[in-house]
Amino acid sequence: MNNRALFRTGIVGSVIAAICCFTPFLGVLFAALGISALMGAWLDFVLLPALALFLIITGYAAYRMRRASR
């Protein structure tokens, strides 16, 4: 995977994970699907590590892009 694709993947994943973590988007979506009881049990155990992972991917890609431009 080239640097730009890796950076783009990190940014898109970070934005999606942040939207799901910090807005009631999943609450509304899960309520519409009828599975809102699942939110309290596992949501934070999945979304916060996913956000951290995508932020690390973004930082790594930015580092690789900066290093390649030298």
Count of domains observed in the chain: 1
Provide the Cα torsion 31, 47, 66, 69; round to 10°.
-50
pLDDT in tens, 28-70: 888 888 887 777 767 778 888 888 999 999 999 999 999 988 7
Taking the complete model, does pTM exceed 0.75, yes or no?
Answer: no
| Residue of higher predicted confidence among 26 and 34 | 34
Domain assignment of residue 26, given as a range: 3-69
- CA-CA distance, 6 to 32, in Å (whole number)? 33
Q: What integer pLDDT is reported at residue 60 of this predicted model? A: 94
